[in-house]
Amino acid sequence: MRKGAIIPVLLLVAVMIAQAQRPPEFGTTPEVGHNRIEVRFALGDQALVCRTFRLVAKHEGRILLSGTFSGGFEIPAAAKTLQDKIALDLEFRCGRHRWHFTQVGERAFLQGYWWVGTDYPPFQTAFAGDPKFKNAAWVRYLITDPMDDSGFIVYRSCPYDLRNVKSGPCFTD
């Protein structure tokens, strides 16, 4: 391969990876492997490519899952015993980016996708026009999108006027 052809090929591969990680429209989620959850990340309207990410999932202080994954993971057996509880604590790391969600419903551990990211104004369709986010500087979100269409969104937003207050809600995790 010529030296000049390497850059366009690498750019094409990067675009293909980013497109593959972008969330599809709800209701058109591609199938995932049996007993698996695939995780995708985004910043704003751009996919965040994570070759590996770190996940720690806890329930009432007990670790259900902890490890480094390359795109998805097998649903842990301990998650199948949870019943009607909204007490999951999920922490994600992708490169220098970090997301932490508390009070996540146990239904998050259904086969399907998790979309994790941070959105900024003007917000994407999931947050656009919602009065809760009218004055938000950002929204961190976890969208659970299981194969059985019983998904939900967990989010945390930063009020624009508190975005630089180091001890405020925009800096606590």
Give the pair of three-digit tokens for residue 170. 């925009």
CA angle 44/169/106 to nearest 5° reads 70
Tokens standing for residue 37: 């959850």
DSSP string, 124-154: -TTTTT-GGGTTEEEEEEEEEEETTS--EEE
Residue spans of the domains in the chain: they are: 3-162
pTM: 0.80
Confidence at residue 45, expressed as pLDDT on a 0 to 100 scale:
84
Q: How far apart are CA 41 and CA 118, in angstroms?
A: 9
Sign of the CA dihedral with 152 first, then 119, 156, and 22 last:
positive
- pLDDT tens, position by position, for the chain (173 residues)? 444 544 444 433 344 444 444 554 444 556 677 899 999 999 988 888 889 999 999 998 899 999 999 989 999 998 888 876 788 999 999 999 999 999 999 989 999 999 999 999 988 877 888 899 999 999 999 999 888 778 899 999 999 888 877 777 787 65
Residue of 96, 104, 118, 126 whose CA lies nearest to 25: 126
- Sign of the CA dihedral 110, 57, 73, 123? positive
Q: What letter does residue 122 receive in the DSSP assignment?
A: S
